[in-house]
Amino acid sequence: MNKSIATYIQVSEQELKDKTGVYLDPVLRRFWTLEVEDGKLAVSAINGMRFRIAPVSQTEFREFEAPVRIDVRFQNRGEGEPPLMHLSIGRQKSYALMIRACQRHRRSIDAFFAANAKC
């Protein structure tokens, strides 16, 4: 879809809040923080990169201010499981697992780290 003709939709404040938290890209070892800002999701990285995304569907979001195309897709992984975020910036594609979130996902995130911790 051409960025200039993207059709944004409205989603509830709660739907946006359900996607907020800290995500970890295990391959690139990059953290992303998502928070609600002016009815959209603000995405920021530790390196200072920051952009806002708006929904084009219930699970797909698109950046609307930067010159490069940024697409974000959220994948639900089952009841009580934290979502997976698929991120495309230009030609670079990655995914990130939510690691800090609202209380609703807290138990499954702790279980994930307990099962995958290397001591």
- 44 pLDDT band (50/70/90 cuts)? very high
pTM metric for this prediction: 0.73
Euclidean distance between CA atoms 7 and 69, whole angstroms: 15
CA distances from 91 to 69, 70, 71 (A): 9, 9, 10
Residue with tokens 């806002």: 52
Q: How many domains does the chain have?
A: 1
Task: Supply the CATH number for residue 70's domain.
Answer: 2.40.128
Euclidean distance between CA atoms 10 and 99, whole angstroms: 26
Euclidean distance between CA atoms 103 and 4, whole angstroms: 37
C-alpha angle 70/21/50, rounded to 5°?
35
- 102 pLDDT band (50/70/90 cuts)? very low
* pLDDT for the residue 64: 80
Find the domain containing 48 and state its range.
Answer: 3-116
Euclidean distance between CA atoms 38 and 64, whole angstroms: 13
